Amino acid sequence: MENSAINGQTSWTKHGMILFRFFFVYLMLQAIPVDVKFYEHLRQINWWNIGFSDIFNISRYTRQIVNSPVTPDFWGINTFLDWGIMALIAIISAVFWSFIDKRQEYASLYYWLRVVLRYRLAIGIIAYGFIKVFPMQSPYPSLSELNTNYGDLSAWKIFSLTLGIAPSFETFLGLVEITAGLLLLYRKTVFLASFIILCFTGNVFLSNLAYEGGEVVYSLYLLQFALFLLWYDAPRLFRLLSLEKPTLPNTFKVTYPNNWQPKLRLILKGIFIIVFILYGVKTYGVYRKGGYQFPLKKGAMREGFYQVLRFSYNGTNLPFNKHDSLRWQNVVIEKWTTISIKIGRQLEPLTSNVEVIHENDVEKGYEFSGTAGRQYFRYEFDKSKQHLVLKAVDGDKGESFLLNVKQANNDTIFLNGINKNSDSLQIVLQKVDKKYLLEEAKKGGRRSGLVL
């Protein structure tokens, strides 16, 4: 196999042939979605109104032989166990194949394997590229997140929030991915693309390990393709750059015996480009509407950070106490239908460290995953009756409040009602015009002598 890498005309060695048969079966199993489970998912897509999340999920196909957790929005990612099974199948196939097949070389098959892997890798890398180019994967932190202690955030959440505060950097990272993906489409730049991907996705892989992310396996899945693709050109480049010796270029040219074949090639490539553009346009559309990590429905209450002036529980006024599990300390009303409350109880954080695109607001859990400082509620506010209903989405999920709202003035809100145990509550919220250093520092620069 290595020989052919230098020159298609040199003969393949015996062990090179066996190795190739193994990799051919193994990588095809990994990359080609001939897979009942996958078609189950595809069947549920409304093809006439395909969403960007559908394309994203298709792009993240991995063969799951062993059952893995799957939801309509999350199609699952395979595990190393699946990889092991595929490798085993590949070993057995390679043995049988070696007995049956008497061919002398696989230059052409190698070419086609590379074509499959190039496109599989391009799809994977571009899908993630677009959700960064239009900075949605890591959105700007919510007001609740700005009001959470650094130590009450998980490493993965901090990673995402940190990227979120620099959308230009996120866009840049996305552009690197898309550029690499597009370079894969052109045979002669595959070496460059796979090198970029090895560096970029290698970094993603290590970040997943370091920040306890959930896409260790998937990033490695893409990396194995990039490594295999670079393997083809690596000896050539090594010879030229390190040995500094005269080097032969790739001489293998694919031949199309039939007239229709080049046409089919063009059509397929065209379809790929069209889907690429479609996905880009769809992603941009979602970005324009506000992304996918936070709920989209606008909340009816006034957004802001509120201090709790008074908190009366069953008629008793509870003074401020950081460790009181009942008394509210402060309240954030988000732009959308989320309210988060700081209470004295430490909550068990939810962890969702895999990228999942949810269609419905109810399921969008980004804001309260990987954080323990506040309790999150989704709210419904009936403006005519001034009724506010809060339902917990993390921590004690049974928690709920039924409250009557009285707007004393622009900034002060009286809440009067009950919790889930029908304990009566009287709460006074006062909006605070809180200034965040994160935002204020940007306005003046380093030497502004900011007072905050």
**Interface of this chain with another protein, residues 416 to 435, rule: CB under 8 A:** 432
Contact 37, 321 (CB under 8 A): no
Cα(99)–Cα(86) distance, integer angstroms = 20
Q: Which is nearer to another protein, 25 or 222 (CB)?
A: 222
Rg (CA), the chain: 28
Give the closest residue to 27 by CA, choosing from 227, 272, 255, 233: 227
The two three-digit tokens of residue 338, written as one number: 């989320």
Task: Indicate whether 319 belongs to the interface with another protein (CB under 8 A).
Answer: yes
Please give the Cα distance from 222 to 245 (Å, whole number): 32
Please choose, out of 67-75, 316-324, 381-389, 409-417, the segment that lies near another protein by the rule CB under 8 A. Answer: 316-324
Cα(75)–Cα(93) distance, integer angstroms: 28
| Distance separating alpha carbons of residues 219 and 60, to the nearest angstrom | 10
Q: Which of 79, 44, 42 is nearest to 64 (CA)?
A: 79
Q: Which stretch binds another protein (CB under 8 A): 73-81, 292-300, 417-425, 439-447?
A: 439-447
Q: Closer CB to another protein, residue 38 or residue 128?
A: 128
126/175 Cα distance (integer angstroms): 9
- Of 68, 179, 224, 307, the residue at the interface with another protein (CB under 8 A) is 307
What is the footprint of another protein within residues 246-285 (CB under 8 A)? 246-251
- Restricting to residues 177-216, which ones interact with another protein according to CB under 8 A? 188-189, 191-192, 195, 199, 206-207, 209-212
Residue 191, phi then psi, degrees to nearest 5:
-60, -40
Tokens 């002598």 sit at which residue?
Answer: 449
Q: Which is nearer to another protein, 32 or 441 (CB)?
A: 441
Q: Which is nearer to another protein, 37 or 310 (CB)?
A: 310
The binder of another protein chosen from 243, 264, 274, 408 (CB under 8 A): 243
**Nearest-approach distance from CB 8 to another protein, in angstroms:** 12
Min CB(78)–another protein separation in Å: 25
Residue number, 147 or 338, with CB nearest to another protein: 147
By CB under 8 A, what part of segment 140-159 binds another protein?
141, 145-155, 158-159
Q: Supply 314's token pair.
A: 């069953």
Q: Does 81 bind another protein (CB under 8 A)?
A: no
